[in-house]
Amino acid sequence: MTPATASGRRAGGTAATGPGATPPAGVPTRVVLLDNRDSFVYNLVDQFASLGADIEVYRNHVSAQRVLEALEPTAAEREAGRRPVLCLSPGPGHPRTSGCLMELVEAGLERGIPMLGICLGFQAMVEACGGTIAPVGPVHGRSDRVEVTAQGRADAALSVLDGAPLDVARYHSLGTRDLPEDLICLARTGNAGGQGAGGIAMAARHRSAPAVGLQFHPESVLTPQGPALLRAIITGLAAGRPGARPTSAPSAHAMSTPRTPTTPPTKETSR
């Protein structure tokens, strides 16, 4: 059954039907977003909508199983060779005290569900892979230039930068300097950011699962390249592309035609 919002309607988009359908233009990327009760969540929803994605939102007090059911590909998605992407939103507190977040991340990694973690969502990925999230000093509403690593320069997630500097919005007081073995560091703060040797991890990709994490906020105006980064990451995850840099930029149709952002209903039900 096609996942629906609480009102029984999907949040925009079209679906390809029949054997003659032409994906991916006919099948917009579907983003299932876990709302960790942050004031930035609907900025993120609007950003995805402006890129042409279908969005379904679930609060983190629902069961992980309910969200996992929503992540089952539809018939049209299977035909198009696309998968819905789980987006783990920013939020307050520690990932281990954030409702179903940790259970969902652990299940998603085990099942190979395409996943993007942002801020708190990225921290949950770190913890799920055996790393430790700890206080790193409060940084709220600051724009920092972060250092893209050699692995990051070769990775499809950051390929849209094409060697340009990466300025990002930071709103966090927790983080990590040492990523677990399963995560490849794509970007980190430098000494210029006052964070000491090694810096704080700002972006990472899982070595084997289709998962990317960003400690910074791509939906903020303080991250000028945020929309392009979100498009590249979500499109690549939905299509099952590996982390290696692609030979060409993501297709303009890969996330369907951009639409005027609308606020999708939030799923409040729990089981």
Per-residue pLDDT tens over the stretch 41-90: 999 999 999 999 999 999 999 999 999 999 999 999 999 999 999 999 99
Confidence (pLDDT) at 78: 95
Confidence (pLDDT) at 90: 97
Higher per-residue pLDDT: 217 or 240:
217
CA distance 217 to 226: 8
**Which candidate in 56, 172, 185, 217 is catalytic?**
217
Q: Can 217 be counted among the known catalytic residues?
A: yes
**Which candidate in 56, 77, 79, 219 is catalytic?**
219
For Cα atoms 181, 184, 187, give the angle at the middle one, nearest 5 degrees: 135
pLDDT at residue 4 greater than cutoff 90:
no
Q: How confident is the model at residue 2 (pLDDT cuts 50, 70, 90)?
A: very low
Q: How confident is the model at residue 29 (pLDDT cuts 50, 70, 90)?
A: very high
Whole-structure pTM value: 0.82
Confidence (pLDDT) at 241: 82
Per-residue pLDDT tens over the stretch 177-225: 999 999 999 999 985 444 444 799 999 999 999 999 999 999 999 999 9
Structure tokens given for 255: 């996330």
Confidence (pLDDT) at 9: 28
Per-residue pLDDT tens over the stretch 132-181: 999 999 998 999 999 999 999 999 999 889 889 999 999 999 999 999 99
pLDDT at residue 229 greater than cutoff 60:
yes
pLDDT at residue 251 greater than cutoff 50:
no
Superfamily designation of domain 30-267: Class I glutamine amidotransferase (GATase) domain (3.40.50.880)
Q: Can 110 be counted among the known catalytic residues?
A: no
Confidence (pLDDT) at 244: 58
Higher per-residue pLDDT: 39 or 62:
62
Per-residue pLDDT tens over the stretch 113-129: 999 999 999 999 999 99
Confidence (pLDDT) at 77: 96
Asked whether the beta carbons of 62 and 270 are under 8 A apart, the reply is yes
Q: How confident is the model at residue 245 (pLDDT cuts 50, 70, 90)?
A: low
**Which candidate in 119, 127, 129, 185 is catalytic?**
119
Q: Can 69 be counted among the known catalytic residues?
A: no
Domain ranges of the chain: 30-267
Q: How confident is the model at residue 40 (pLDDT cuts 50, 70, 90)?
A: confident
Q: Which residues contact 92 (CB under 8 A, 6 or more apart)?
A: 36, 37, 38, 120
Confidence (pLDDT) at 263: 52
Confidence (pLDDT) at 190: 83
